[in-house]
Structure 1
Amino acid sequence: MTDTSDLGDIRGHADHSSNLGFDTRAIHHAFDPAGFSRAVKPPVFLTSTYGFESVAENDAAAALGGRLYAREYNPTTEILEQRLANLEGAEAGLVLSTGMAAFGTLVLSLLSQGDELVVHKTLYSNTVAMVEQGLPRFGIKVVPVDLSEPGKLNAAITERTRLVYFETPVNPLSAILDIAAIAEQAHARKVKVAVDSTFASPALQRPLEYGADLVLHSLTKYINGHGDTLGGALLGDAETLHTLHETGLRYITGATLSPLSAFLILRGLKTLSLRMERHSASALKIARMLEAHPAVAWVSYPFLESHPGFATARKQMAQGSGMLAFGLHAGFDGARTMMDRLKLLTRAVSLGDADSLIYHPASLMRARQSIRKDAQLADGVGEELIRLSVGLEDVNDLIADLQQALQPL
Structure 2
Amino acid sequence: MKRKLDFSKLGFGTGMIHAGQEPDPSYGALATPIYQTSTFCFDTAEEGGEIFSGERAGYAYTRGGNPTTTALEQKLSILEGGEAAIATASGMGAVGGALLAYAKAGDHILRGRCIYSCTEHVFRENLSKFNIEVTSADFSDLEAVAGGIKENTKLLYFESMSNPMMELSDIREISRIAHDRGIKVVVDNTFTPPPEIRPLSLGADLVVHSTTKYINGHGDAIGGAIIGAKEELDPIRSGITTKLLGTTPSPFNSYLVLRGMQTMELRMQRHCENGFAIASFLEGNPHVKRVYYPGLSSSPQHALAERMMKGNYGGILAFELKDGIRGMKAFDACKKLLNSFTIPSIAVSLGDPGTLVEHAASMTHGAVPAEEREREGITDALIRVSAGLEDKEDLLADFRAAFSVLD
Output the TM-score relative to the length of structure 2.
Answer: 0.93
Partner of 2:314: 321
Q: Secondary structure of the residue that 2:209 maps to in structure 1?
A: strand
Partner of 1:18: 8
Q: CA deviation at 1:244?
A: 0.9
Q: Secondary structure of the residue that 2:227 maps to in structure 1?
A: strand
Aligned residues: 396
Alignment of 1:166-315 (within 5 A): 166-315=158-307
Q: Does 1:32 align with 2:22?
A: yes
Structure 2 vs 1, CA of residues 275 and 108 (structure 1 numbering), >3 Å: closer, same or farther?
same
CA–CA distance in structure 2, aligned partners of residues 268 and 13 of structure 1: 25
Partner of 2:393: 396
Partner of 1:44: 34
Q: Partner letter of residue 335 of structure 2? A: R
Partner of 1:354: 353
Alignment of 1:111-130 (within 5 A): 111-130=103-122
Q: CA deviation at 1:314?
A: 1.2
Query: C-alpha deviations, 1:342-400, integer Å up to 9, x for none?
Result: 1111000111100100001223379x67xx98796372111100000000011111111
CA contact (8 A) 1:365 1:377 kept: no
Partner of 2:70: 78
CA–CA distance in structure 1, aligned partners of residues 370 and 289 of structure 2: 28
Structure 2 vs 1, CA of residues 365 and 220 (structure 1 numbering), >3 Å: closer, same or farther?
closer
Structure 2 vs 1, CA of residues 334 and 281 (structure 1 numbering), >3 Å: closer, same or farther?
same
Q: Structure 2: state its 5+ residue gaps.
A: none
Query: C-alpha deviations, 1:16-68, integer Å up to 9, x for none?
Result: 33312111111111222152421110010111111111122112212338832
Query: C-alpha deviations, 1:170-228, integer Å up to 9, x for none?
Result: 11121111111111110110111111110111222111111111101100000000000
Q: CA deviation at 1:332?
A: 2.0
CA–CA distance in structure 1, aligned partners of residues 386 and 274 of structure 2: 10
Partner of 1:3: none
Q: Structure 1: state its 5+ residue gaps.
A: 1-8
- Identical counterparts, % of pairs: 39
CA–CA distance in structure 2, aligned partners of residues 73 and 196 of structure 1: 24
CA contact (8 A) 1:204 1:317 kept: yes
Q: Does 1:338 align with 2:328?
A: no
CA contact (8 A) 1:118 1:161 kept: yes
Q: Secondary structure of the residue that 1:70 maps to in structure 2?
A: coil
CA contact (8 A) 1:355 1:390 kept: yes
Structure 2 vs 1, CA of residues 82 and 35 (structure 1 numbering), >3 Å: closer, same or farther?
same
| Residue 383 of structure 2, aligned match among 386, 400, 406 | 386
Query: C-alpha deviations, 1:233-288, integer Å up to 9, x for none?
Result: 00001111001101111221011111111111011100111001000011111111
Q: Does 1:406 align with 2:374?
A: no
Partner of 1:377: 373
CA–CA distance in structure 2, aligned partners of residues 66 and 158 of structure 1: 44
Q: CA deviation at 1:408?
A: 4.2
CA contact (8 A) 1:365 1:376 kept: no
CA–CA distance in structure 1, aligned partners of residues 293 and 181 of structure 2: 33
CA–CA distance in structure 2, aligned partners of residues 67 and 160 of structure 1: 40
CA–CA distance in structure 1, aligned partners of residues 216 and 300 of structure 2: 30
Alignment RMSD (CA, Å): 2.0
CA–CA distance in structure 2, aligned partners of residues 34 and 256 of structure 1: 22
CA contact (8 A) 2:348 2:364 kept: no
Output the TM-score relative to the length of structure 1.
Answer: 0.92
CA contact (8 A) 2:98 2:186 kept: no
CA–CA distance in structure 2, aligned partners of residues 186 and 140 of structure 1: 18
CA–CA distance in structure 2, aligned partners of residues 286 and 155 of structure 1: 37
Q: Partner letter of residue 193 of structure 2? A: S
CA–CA distance in structure 2, aligned partners of residues 139 and 270 of structure 1: 42
CA–CA distance in structure 2, aligned partners of residues 404 and 376 of structure 1: 34
CA–CA distance in structure 1, aligned partners of residues 202 and 363 of structure 2: 35
Q: Secondary structure of the residue that 2:290 maps to in structure 1?
A: strand
CA–CA distance in structure 2, aligned partners of residues 74 and 309 of structure 1: 42
